[in-house]
Amino acid sequence: MRVSLICSATLFPLACFAFPAIKREISEDTLAQYAALAAKISREVEVKRGPTRRAFDADAQRISTTGEHAYVSPGPDDIRGPCPGLNTLANHGYISRTGVDSILAVTTAANEVFGMSLGLATFLSVYSGVMTGDITSFSIGGKPKSSLLGGLTSSLGLLGEGQGLSASHNRFECDASPTRADYNTGDPVSLNLAQFEQLVAMPKGPNGYDLTVMNQFRGAGFNRSIATNGHFFAGPFTHLAVNAAAYSFTYRFFGNWSAERPGEGYLDLETLKSFEGVIGEPGNFQWKQGRERFPENWHRRPIGDEYSLFSLMLDAVDAITTVPYVIAIGGNTGKPNTFTGVNVGDLTGGVFNAQTLLQGNNLACFAFQAVNLASPDILRGGLLGDLAQTAVQKLTEALGSIFATLNCPQLVKYDTSLFNAFPGAGSGL
């Protein structure tokens, strides 16, 4: 049976019309790897029911920075982008040093090296492949030069349409980020030194730059965008999921784990600087593209205590509980300090509202259904062969089984015309 890869799956259902023909193909071997990943994701859902706290295991958690994983600064044709995690993986060869790789490779590296759950890593990767790449691979920064295409390890090359993560404004790259400026007021890809100084100057929490710090910093970042960016837009997916993730990931993934603190990581300034590619001292920091690196003797989260979509949802709810004003969906109407919230009840036909958004799984349901119901124009089209199609379909089905456990209320209405009031919204999610 020929099923269009995405239209039959739970995620991205409107994509189906965009993939009518056969073009990009993968090998049987690659398909087998994708099938194995999909099976592993399904097993991980099972495992989630068991206890997740694991003892510290220094050898298993220490991340190699030598040999094939030595730090090498990127060459002139290598691409880096807005995500310090992916930039670090590329600078150490955990994903292709070119900055262009398959969703399989990115998922595997995020899972094994940073302890991101397979479900969360697959979601982020597939989403990037669909939105910014050729579905099965994508660039972690800008559009790849044609000379890079031949270097891909899979038989896939990026389609001309794949613009990369750097050009994903309001689909993935979004406003009010921790260390990146807003699209409309600065460079959303490079680290912004003023924002970094501000983060570093925050009073530290019990675990260094932990969530107590990141939540307050998120409040400050939200206010900064309102006060400075007339085109600030906070969409259901980009603001409630991606923006929340940008702040929680900083601590959850960059923190160093140790025997002394088996249940949580500690993020100190040196480690933060290393992952963000910053050198120098407060008041005198410097940043240059391509310096993101693993600190020596750094330990990831415990094996078996991976940070999942559910972890992200809990952290997002926790952030909103701490700084309640960041829950607003909406934007500035053209000038700074004109932030106008959208009524979530109007947007969703009453399925969600401001009072119920923090209950149960509603926050995640709302954010992810916005992706699900998004307008078809988000897909500029890619053409896949049967095997590639089957591969991605297996992944989206496995992800579907995770989303099914959220038991989301059915969202039938999603009135994005309410976003027309915001000049910065575009076709944002």
Ligand X SMILES: *[C@@H]1O[C@H](CO)[C@@H](O)[C@H](O)[C@H]1NC(C)=O
Does 173 participate in binding ligand HEM (rule CB under 6 A)? yes
10 Ramachandran zone, left/alpha/beta (phi>0; psi -120 to 50) = alpha
Residue nearest to ligand X as judged by C-beta position:
258
Whichever of 307 and 422 has its CB closer to ligand HEM, that residue is: 307
Does 230 participate in binding ligand HEM (rule CB under 6 A)? no
CA–CA gap between residue 310 and residue 361 (Å, rounded): 9
Fill in the per-residue mask, 121 to 150: x = in contact with ligand HEM (CB under 6 A), - = not in contact: x--xx--x----------------------
Does 248 participate in binding ligand HEM (rule CB under 6 A)? no
Q: Residue 172 in contact with residue 238, Cβ under 8 Å? A: yes
Q: Residue 242 in contact with residue 176, Cβ under 8 Å? A: no
Give SS3 for 387: helix
Whichever of 241 and 267 has its CB closer to ligand X, that residue is: 267
283 Ramachandran zone, left/alpha/beta (phi>0; psi -120 to 50) = left
CA–CA gap between residue 429 and residue 427 (Å, rounded): 7
Does 117 participate in binding ligand HEM (rule CB under 6 A)? no
Does 308 participate in binding ligand HEM (rule CB under 6 A)? no
Whichever of 253 and 352 has its CB closer to ligand HEM, that residue is: 253
| Listed ranges 9-17, 242-250, 320-328, 421-429: which one lies at the site for ligand HEM (CB under 6 A) | 242-250
CB of 414 to ligand X, least distance (A): 27
Question: Residues with Cβ < 8 Å from 21, sequence gap 6 or more?
Answer: 383
Q: Contact with ligand HEM (CB under 6 A): which of 26, 110, 319, 320?
A: 110
Residue nearest to ligand HEM as judged by C-beta position:
85
Whichever of 251 and 298 has its CB closer to ligand X, that residue is: 298
Q: Which residues pair with 24 in a beta bridge?
A: 384
Q: Which parts of this chain interact with ligand X (CB under 6 A)?
A: 219-220, 223, 256, 258, 260, 271, 295, 297-299, 325
- Tell the burial category of 366 from Cβ atoms under 10 Å away from its Cβ (0-12, 13-18, 19+): buried
| Listed ranges 106-114, 151-159, 228-236, 338-346: which one lies at the site for ligand HEM (CB under 6 A) | 106-114
Q: Contact with ligand HEM (CB under 6 A): which of 190, 215, 250, 369?
A: 250
Q: Contact with ligand HEM (CB under 6 A): which of 18, 37, 83, 398?
A: 83
CA–CA gap between residue 61 and residue 247 (Å, rounded): 23
Query: Which partner in ligand HEM, ligand X, none is near 134 (CB below 5 to 8 A by kind)?
Result: none
Q: Residue 396 in contact with residue 357, Cβ under 8 Å? A: no
DSSP letter, residue 373? T
- Which of 327, 387, 184, 131 has the alpha carbon at shortest distance from 139? 131
Sequence letter at residue 6: I
Does 277 participate in binding ligand HEM (rule CB under 6 A)? no
Does 114 participate in binding ligand HEM (rule CB under 6 A)? yes
Whichever of 141 and 208 has its CB closer to ligand X, that residue is: 208
CB of 246 to ligand HEM, least distance (A): 4
Whichever of 13 and 186 has its CB closer to ligand HEM, that residue is: 186
Q: Contact with ligand HEM (CB under 6 A): which of 74, 85, 99, 235?
A: 85
User: Angle at CA 413, nearest 5°, toward 410 and 417?
Assistant: 150
Q: Residue 219 in contact with residue 288, Cβ under 8 Å? A: no
**Binding residues with ligand HEM: total (CB under 6 A):** 27
CB of 337 to ligand X, least distance (A): 10
Give SS3 for 249: helix
DSSP string of 289-347? TT---PPTT-B-SPTT--B-HHHHHHHHHHHHHHSGGGG--EE-SSSTT--EE--HHHH
Q: Residue 143 in contact with residue 167, Cβ under 8 Å? A: yes
CB of 21 to ligand HEM, least distance (A): 26
Binding residues for ligand HEM restricted to 153-172, rule: CB under 6 A: 165, 168, 172
Binding site for ligand HEM (CB under 6 A): 82-86, 106, 110, 114, 116, 121, 124-125, 128, 165, 168, 172-174, 177-180, 242, 246, 249-250, 253
